[in-house]
Amino acid sequence: MAQAEHVSGIRLGRILGIPIYLHTSWFLIFLLITLSLRTQFTAQHPGWTATQHWVLGIITSLLFFASVVFHEMSHSIVAMRYHINVQSITLFVFGGLARIEHDAPNAKQEFTIAIAGPLSSLFLAACFWSVWRFVHGSEMVTAAAKWLALTNLVLAIFNLVPGFPLDGGRVLRGIAWGITGNFMRATQIAASAGRFFAYFLIAIGVWQALNGNWVGGLWMAFIGWFLLEAARESFAQVAIRDTLADVRAEDIMVRDIPTVTRDISIDEYVHEVLRTGRRCHIVTGAGLPVGLVTLQSAKSVPREQWSNTSVQAVMVPMAKVQRAAPGDLALSILERMQSEDINQMPIVSGEHIVGMIGRDAILRVLQTRLQAGHLAKPS
């Protein structure tokens, strides 16, 4: 599954320059798959020792997740061929996520990047099937190969389901994009298909649970719920990007730059915030900007110390202040704010601060445009 969302985790290393991470949820699914395989191998091969059952279960689980990495690498290699940066690959409870910097610029590239994953899983299924059918002499090898062949086949088929954000949904979006010429319309079609498939899985899961298969039914419903949320979130992110595509910092920045001198106390600063309602100020010294102070940073000092502590003690020096240029896209600024967990950013042109932009201002523009219905436009 190729995604743009970030999923943090434990870093394993790099493949072709792409960082590989393990999300903490991976350990749960690895344990469950290993236990399931151990039970399956015990039932199918009672003559093996307990050690053989456990060792083959662990090795087969690791090969399965190696198959998932191969699937995600296939997406990533094609994306890199189109000069789209791949920031990371993360293994988690439902498989893998390739964090791609941005969506493909056209329908053909969208289709090609999306189809690469399922095709790679079909290729692995064929390889493991060949080992199972034609390599003889070791029951352990053929048992693992048979399970991996079937599992990769299921992985390919599942990902080909035409529901966003599964690979099949992105394939559908590529096809719809090519036909309609409208990226947002294509995304709406793929997201609708994704929601339909998610509700279908939830219904099947509920039906199975009501008929006695509680474990399988609840698991199926949980997968459906996950895909439903993923479809909604993925469409919302696309809508946000589309809505803010042409908005730049200079369009919405505040040109009246609030300042305070570095020698005032935190107590005086808080009173200034209460008076004006401005929660972020440029700190000046000798008439020049030397830092940035916010109400949040001021509150990091105990209340009883406010009167004898200057704002200089809690400000962020200008050298470390995150900044943007007037021509920077509001969307990229919002993403930086979310990544750095900050709410305001000075807008700098040359050596001069020409404005301030806040996360709330960007979100107001987004809300206004969404309410006005300016979502779809030709791509």
Count of CB atoms situated within 10 Å of the CB of 108: 13
**SS3 letters across 146-209:** HHHHHHHHHHHHHHCCCCCCCHHHHHHHHHHHHHHCCHHHHHHHHHHHHHHHHHHHHHHHHHHH
Q: Is 72 a residue of the active site? A: yes
Q: Give 202-235 as a DSSP string.
A: HHHHHHHHHTT-HHHHHHHHHHHHHHHHHHHHHH
Q: At residue 79, what are phi and psi to the nearest 5 degrees?
A: -60, -45
Residues whose CB is less than 8 angstroms from the CB of residue 144 and which lie 6 or more positions away in sequence, other chains included:
56, 59, 60, 63
Q: How far apart are CA 32 and CA 52, in angstroms?
A: 18
Cα atoms in the Cβ-side hemisphere of radius 13 Å centred on 137: 3
The dihedral of CA 356, 360, 361, 366: what is its sign?
positive
The SS3 assignment for 261 reads strand
Backbone φ, ψ for residue 279 (5° rounding): -100, 0
Angle among Cα 27, 114, 109 to the nearest 5 degrees reads 140
Enumerate helices (H) and strands (E) in the chain, giving the number of each: 12, 11
Torsion of CA 163, 167, 170, 174, to 10 degrees: -120
List active site positions.
Answer: 72
